[in-house]
A = this chain, B = another copy of it.
């Protein structure tokens, strides 16, 4: 499975997410970006491993922490950045912002400000795909906290009993906002919840892009072959606060540093070098290109015009 191109795509996708997020954090701190920001830094292997296991037309739905999913699904950095700036050229013409990016042309059917809210909707997309015989898989990203929502339960039950081509990717980063997993559920492995639906459950190391890819590929193949949905838990960690500005009274610096040792990008970089898939200078070049693309996206976002207010109040219905 692992060849040079594919390894390169994996690595650059993760780097792209990391650098995009670092830039977003910086712009947000400089008060250039309105609204709120939930950084995906630390969790890059999950979005990357999953999305690279998909076909271009497959659907994904995302969360408040959604930039990584979008980028891994190949959406335009420019239109994303413009959306963060609230501009007309953004994906949602400035109506959505960071928590509500969507690119239907890429199968990215929407991030979500409601925790767990996207799970039933993604399930509906899987149903649509099945009924229209589109052969598309629908992947739904959500967190450990979201797995305690009623919407999670009803959607997974439906997907299982209707045998829908869906993959439920739980990004277990051990916290729901400030609440540690041990305080919000009496289990360790969320994948076990699959049992409740007669669904296939699996666990990936969310700090290891190859582990995520492998499990996601299995799940997507199962879904595509009519073998039913999967609940795939990816164990991961977010490095920054829940939102930019989070005082983080709920964990120690030490805990964060421990997790950083497992950094998914550093680990995979080492792997590709050791396995002679890429050279350091190739990686440097790629990183440089990504940085340039991001900088360009920032300029685009900054310079883009604002959406027209009249238009914004006149387009409620088609």
Contact = CB atoms under 8 A, between A and B. Distances in A.
Interface string A176-188: 0000000111110
Interface stretch (A40-48, A55-63, A122-130, A192-200): A192-200
A116 to B, nearest CB: 9
A106 interface: no
A260 interface: no
Interface string A194-222: 01111100000000000000000000000
A67 to B, nearest CB: 28
B195 A196 contact: yes
27 contacts: A148-B153, A148-B157, A149-B153, A149-B154, A150-B151, A150-B152, A150-B153, A150-B154, A152-B153, A153-B153, A153-B154, A160-B185, A161-B183, A161-B184, A161-B185, A161-B186, A185-B197, A185-B198, A186-B198, A187-B195, A187-B196, A187-B197, A192-B195, A193-B195, A193-B196, A195-B196, A196-B196
Interface extent on A, as a size class? Answer: 20 to 34
Nearest to A184: B161
Among A150, A183, A186, A197: residue with most chain B CB under 10 A = A186
Nearest to A148: B157
Contacts of A198: 185-187
A265 B195 CA distance: 34
A203 to B, nearest CB: 15
Given A195-B195, A196-B193, A160 B148 contact: no
- Can you tell how many copies of this chain the complex includes? 2
Contacts of A154: 148-150, 153
A193 B195 CA distance: 7
A186 B231 CA distance: 14
Contacts of A152: 150, 153
A161 B186 CA distance: 5
Contacts of A193: 195-196
Contacts of A196: 187, 192-193, 195-196
Top 9 closest A-B pairs, CB basis?
Answer: A150-B150, A153-B153, A186-B198, A160-B186, A193-B196, A196-B196, A187-B198, A161-B186, A195-B195
